[in-house]
Structure 1
Amino acid sequence: MSSNNYALGQVSDFEIKQLRIFKAVVDNGGFSAAETELNISRSTISIHISNLESRLNLTLCRRGRGGFSLTDEGRVIYEMTNKLLSSLDEFRDTVNEMSQNPAGNLRIVVSDGMSLDPRAKFPEMISQFFTQAPDISLRSEVCSMAEIERMLLNDEADVGLAPYHRQLDGLEYLPLYSDVCRLYCGPTSPLFDLDEAEITDEVINQFTAIQPGLKPHEEANEQLSCMSLKGTAYFYETRLAMILSGKYIAFLPEDYARPYVDNAQLRMIAGENRFYTLGIASIVKKRAQQPKAVEMFSNIVSSLHPSVAGD
């Protein structure tokens, strides 16, 4: 508890650093879970939190055998920390926007398989962006489509490169190309050696299939609705592993599956009938005025995909 006559005084950069550590601990649900994000040891985190509590003259959290939890004062400080850090970030971004040499951060979230797909031209995007804005710190990670949508809408990411089954009102989409997704089985599946004439819809629908774990668009749903969907895998790598087990069949983008087909590790099933298309797009949050870094990156995307941008 704080003393009635205690006053905090000036908040320095060091206290702000401690508040960032405190926020990371709360966001991750404890000291151990925050180690990876902060890249410092649990003992160092504990020292920072203890020093912050001493500086504020407050007990912020409880830690022990019962687990991590916030005190009432800790919950208030956490809420105020979020507001403070958000204001600092907004101030930094505003100053960076006014600078002739853009600085700050650009957060790009990419869906499974897109980073090295030559059709996406993601390495070319990075190269041109770095040349134009070398002072902007670039962060990139791989996420699912639903997570990319959520991060963009919540301002946790700036640009998404992803397939899309739907178009949300709060997001803008620049279509880049389309994937044709076809049905595949592995080499130990009974389907692998059947004659094409024997592989009817009735036969296919008897085999255990994989769904992507999200609500598909109408064309994909038409293909999946009659199948025995007892497996779930969003990411292509894990979906491929399940197919290669011989126990599941599933849809994969044709370009992604081609090397495995060429090496006789996969077989396309009923290729003339069992397929759907999936659009790939660059996605940003709708705004009256995009941040300078986002605008620059979007212009690069458009320049690398001129036929699409000009439609």
Structure 2
Amino acid sequence: MAVASTADRVGKLAQVGDYEIRLLKVFKTVVECGGFSAAETVLNVSRSTISVHMANLEQRLKLTLCSRGRSGFGLTEDGVIIYDAVRRLFSQMEDFRSTVNALHVQVSGELNLVASDTISLDDRCPFPEVLGQFCQRAPDVYLNFETAPMNEIERRILNEEADVGFIPYHRELEGLAYQPIYEETCYLYCSHTHPLFAMEDNEEIRERLEQQRLVHAGIQTNPDVTVQLRGLTKAASAYYYETRTAMVLSGAYIGFLPEQYVGQWERDGRLKRLLPNERMYRLGIAAITRQYGRLNKPRDVFMELLAKAVLSGN
């Protein structure tokens, strides 16, 4: 007579109900404790009761799971396979429980967003798509959305006055978590009415560059930006791209601006890059949250959706 395989024998198990689950928990505990004696304290039952439970489980599975005797406790080959399956079973049950509980936790309250300048409408930022997904997932959340300078955004997030900030980050501050979104390149521009616009000789531009009036962001910047500003004549400050671009378009100032933002004026011939291979720097754009703070489900849901969108490239 052929001997039934392990898979055939396990297949004879009619069902896995509450009682079988309790027996499997006992088995898992015994294995992880290394024997019946050590499991007594954890399970708070006697060794003889554990032995009965194990015998009942083996009878139901029609398998010998472990050896016990003078040589000590040990798993059989079938026991190793069943233990691995039990671990997966309980892990999946826990995942199911967490999923169900999460569905019953209604996301409500407020979500306070604050962005620096033009980030939220940049084609490379998935903000509109993420916002739409968030409103479907958490329709009862009241949304506040403002703009502010980078330093103010960092302060609000650290003080928990805002939940998520969008900034061109020049630095990483302790206490903040950063989710990179995209990177932009800034070049030095002048307008078509500026004296440098008609110059073609780079050496001549270099010689006259330090005498030109520069409008800059007016905030502490990273080392790359500091190097680019060195030697230039800081004559005005304008944090927002809109106002800074207007000042450069006036013909009275030169200034660093993101190529994506000023693309239309550059294509129209109203702006020109000055020494583009030398006078440029890159800025990373990120969403920031407070690294350690109070529980905030609307923020966590929003950041989960944002991270997925960035990862997928949408």
Instruction: Report the TM-score, using the length of structure 1 for normalisation.
Output: 0.65
* 1:305 alignment counterpart: 310
Separation in 1, partners of 2:133, 2:103: 21
Separation in 1, partners of 2:103, 2:230: 52
Deviations 1:182-218 (A, max 9, x none): 0000111001111143444332111000121111100
Distance 1:164 1:273, change over 3 A: same
Separation in 1, partners of 2:183, 2:235: 27
Separation in 2, partners of 1:215, 1:230: 16
Separation in 1, partners of 2:186, 2:129: 25
Identity of aligned residues (%): 40
Distance 1:199 1:141, change over 3 A: farther
* 1:251 alignment counterpart: 256
* 1:65 alignment counterpart: none
Distance 1:173 1:189, change over 3 A: same
* 2:111 alignment counterpart: 106
Deviations 1:252-304 (A, max 9, x none): 01111111100111111111110001110010001266511111011011111
Radius of gyration: which is bigger? Answer: 2
Q: How many residues align?
A: 212
* 1:186 alignment counterpart: 191
> In 2, are the aligned partners of 1:196 and 1:270 still within 8 Å (CA)?
no
Distance 1:278 1:296, change over 3 A: same
Structure 1 residue matching 2:119: 3-state secondary structure: coil
Give 5+ residue unaligned stretches, structure 2: 1-101
Distance 1:233 1:264, change over 3 A: same
Tell whether 2:150 aligns with 1:170: no
How far is the alpha carbon of 1:234 from its aligned partner?
A: 0.5
Q: Give the aligned CA root-mean-square deviation in angstroms.
A: 1.8
> In 2, are the aligned partners of 1:199 and 1:270 still within 8 Å (CA)?
no
**The 10-residue stretch of structure 1 (196-205 or 206-215) with the greater mean CA deviation from structure 2:** 196-205
How far is the alpha carbon of 1:115 from its aligned partner?
A: 1.7
Structure 2 residue matching 1:115: 3-state secondary structure: helix
Separation in 1, partners of 2:200, 2:162: 48
Distance 1:219 1:101, change over 3 A: same
> In 2, are the aligned partners of 1:199 and 1:269 still within 8 Å (CA)?
no
Give 5+ residue unaligned stretches, structure 1: 1-96
* 2:223 alignment counterpart: 218
* 1:266 alignment counterpart: 271
State the one-letter code of the partner of 2:238: A
Separation in 2, partners of 1:175, 1:199: 39
Structure 2 residue matching 1:126: 3-state secondary structure: helix
* 1:125 alignment counterpart: 130
* 1:233 alignment counterpart: 238
Instruction: Report the TM-score, using the length of structure 2 for normalisation.
Output: 0.65
